[in-house]
Amino acid sequence: MEVTLEMARTAIRAALDAGAEKGFRPLTAIVLDAGGHIVAFERSDGSAPGRFAIAHGKAYGAVMLGMPGSAQMKRAEDQHYFMTAMNGAFGGAVVPVPGGILIKDGDRVIGALGVTGDTSDNDVIAGLQGLEAAGLTGAA
Amino acid sequence: MEVTLEMARTAIRAALDAGAEKGFRPLTAIVLDAGGHIVAFERSDGSAPGRFAIAHGKAYGAVMLGMPGSAQMKRAEDQHYFMTAMNGAFGGAVVPVPGGILIKDGDRVIGALGVTGDTSDNDVIAGLQGLEAAGLTGAA
Amino acid sequence: MEVTLEMARTAIRAALDAGAEKGFRPLTAIVLDAGGHIVAFERSDGSAPGRFAIAHGKAYGAVMLGMPGSAQMKRAEDQHYFMTAMNGAFGGAVVPVPGGILIKDGDRVIGALGVTGDTSDNDVIAGLQGLEAAGLTGAA
Amino acid sequence: MEVTLEMARTAIRAALDAGAEKGFRPLTAIVLDAGGHIVAFERSDGSAPGRFAIAHGKAYGAVMLGMPGSAQMKRAEDQHYFMTAMNGAFGGAVVPVPGGILIKDGDRVIGALGVTGDTSDNDVIAGLQGLEAAGLTGAA
């Protein structure tokens, strides 16, 4: 299975809508494919201009390392210089906090959803709801 | 006036749909705001992974230089080393061909739409149709 | 409201003058617009050549993240790997200490003032005095 | 002699005013010191956000190569791959067209003024008038 544009659109819009319904701050979301390339992206009105880089870094780090944001955060807490090195090795595009959610087909990583705008935990709540709306399975 | 996410969504989807209806190759489209920051992006199924950088470079160059892609192409043909220098000055993110369409509110640039996937001329046709669907004025 | 060149000139000069009157070390100041693009910049005689990058990084991080320098510093102290990742994600241009002051029009961020040269706290004192002279509202 | 902030302010403001009086499009101007580091910068209201990179590239190339913009343009026309290589070697910050004006004290380069916004020839006219107002000698 591959992540189609229709799935990505659905997941992003459902994540943004979930955040709005729950009263989260305006969210920004991105979907990358299995190669780490962008399929779709949306930034809510009122989000800071830098939200693209954060959403992208969460999702890109997840795909490139095969690790969801929560696992990257644990690694950063245990061994911060390693995740700093990962940030450098991938040109700055690794943001090791929750909200970088792997999209999986069984054991296979087929992409990632990155969500940012509220607390990292709330970003994950909205993101998982988005993936569910698109019929996709996430590992946060 | 600012480009809202709803306007960006509408313009991108209408541009992609216009391309599909006309039998163009699968299109990719991006909308940037007045500061050159991404509002929304979509890559059609079957588009090459590098289409993000091309769509972005068309739209980013247009906003940063205040010149649509067609004017940049003319400048590149008349004085190619200047546009090569612009590409370097903006970190590679200037692609000086049609398909980088300024979004204007009167005389003011409020963003840009970048379209890529078919010939540059067809990219413009789809892009202008997208902007029209969103009630936005383009300068191609 | 947008930050005009006249406002930026006034704020920068008043910040530099405030520092000189208070006996601070020579200050450097920058004003960015809502998209993070430079409107005006001045480096006092006797400031180190690297002060541009510091002033810029304070102001740019503030605009891109929608967070003033003091909030970024707190985040860096609580979760330093996150601010390290932000530095990488924005190409090095995030300096998370006080002196990156958001310029606001109500709830909306319309730019930032970055001040550097003395202690971070003194940089803020001079910066807020500069914004006041220009009739602008700062969030430090 | 060194370029002081007061000289830089005077030159920039006089260049911008000269452009406005002559009916040029809104100008952007920068002054660098002998080490290529920014002393002051101003972007007129209505200038495209990318004007910083262009003004900077004109002035930086002039200082780093010790050649004014007109000489760089001639070199680009005679041997374009060389100036393309210079652009790459200096991280994109070489824009080889008129408007990069060396500031000289006798034979010694003490800085550069970069002007952009109208035609390259008009940029030079405004720039030389700015340097004259500041009591500085330019080589365009």
pLDDT digits (tens, 9 = 90+) for D88-140: 999 999 999 999 999 999 999 999 999 999 999 999 999 999 999 999 999 99
H, E, C per residue of B23-44: CCCCCEEEEEECCCCEEEEEEC
- Report residue A58 CA to chain centroid gap: 5
Distance in angstroms (rounded) separating the CA atoms of residues D49 and D42: 12
D100, D69 contact by CB (below 8 A) = yes
pLDDT digits (tens, 9 = 90+) for A35-92: 999 999 999 999 999 999 999 999 999 999 999 999 999 999 999 999 999 999 999 9
Distance in angstroms (rounded) separating the CA atoms of residues B71 and B103: 15
Burial level of D56, CB count in 10 A (0-12/13-18/19+)? buried
Task: Pick from A30, A44, A54, A123 the residue to mutate for testing the C interface (most C CBs within 10 Å).
Answer: A54
Instruction: Give me the interface pTM, i.e. the ipTM.
Output: 0.95
Query: For residue B88, what is the nearest residue in chain D, using CA coordinates?
Result: D92
Q: Compute the nearest-CA separation of D78 from chain C (Å).
A: 34
pLDDT digits (tens, 9 = 90+) for C15-46: 999 999 999 999 999 999 999 999 999 999 99
Distances (CA, A) of D46 to A11, B71, D57, D114: 39, 19, 20, 18
Q: How is residue B56 written in tokens?
A: 């972005």
Q: What is the pLDDT of residue A138?
A: 97
CATH 3.30.450.150 for the A5-139 domain, yes or no = yes
Distances (CA, A) of D100 to B66, B80, D41, D78: 21, 18, 14, 19
Q: Compute the nearest-CA separation of A91 from chain B (Å).
A: 13
E strand or H helix at A24, and its extent? none
Task: Pick from C64, C80, C81 the residue to mutate for testing the A interface (most A CBs within 10 Å).
Answer: C81
Q: What is the pLDDT of residue D88?
A: 94
Distances (CA, A) of A138 to A52, A125, B34, B118: 21, 11, 34, 34
Beta-carbon separation of B5 and A49 below 8 A: no
A74, A58 contact by CB (below 8 A) = no
How many residues comprise chain A? Answer: 140
B90 touches chain A (CB under 8 A): no
Q: What is the pLDDT of residue B131?
A: 98
pLDDT digits (tens, 9 = 90+) for C66-97: 999 999 999 999 999 999 999 999 999 999 99
D99 touches chain B (CB under 8 A): no
Q: How confident is the model over B2-16, as a mean pLDDT?
A: 98
Is residue C104 helix, strand or coil?
strand
Q: What are phi and psi of A28, to 5 degrees?
A: -130, 140
Q: What is the pLDDT of residue B81?
A: 95
Q: In b/e form, how buried is each residue of B105-117, taking b as 16+ CB within 10 angstroms?
A: eeeebbbbbbbbb
Q: What is the pLDDT of residue C62?
A: 98
Q: How confident is the model over A120-126, as a mean pLDDT?
A: 98
Q: What are phi and psi of A98, to 5 degrees?
A: -60, 145
Instruction: Indicate the residue of A76, A80, A87 with minimum beta-carbon distance to C88.
Output: A87
Burial level of D55, CB count in 10 A (0-12/13-18/19+)? buried
Q: What is the pLDDT of residue C27?
A: 98
Q: Which chains pack against B, by 3+ Cβ pairs within 8 A?
A: A, C, D
pLDDT digits (tens, 9 = 90+) for C100-122: 999 999 999 999 999 999 999 99
Beta-carbon separation of A49 and B35 below 8 A: yes
Share of chain A above pLDDT 70, in %: 100
Q: In b/e form, how buried is each residue of B4-18, taking b as 16+ CB within 10 angstroms?
A: bbebbbbbbbbbbbb
Task: Pick from C2, C37, C65, C105 the residue to mutate for testing the B interface (most B CBs within 10 Å).
Answer: C37
Q: Compute the nearest-CA separation of C53 from chain D (Å).
A: 10
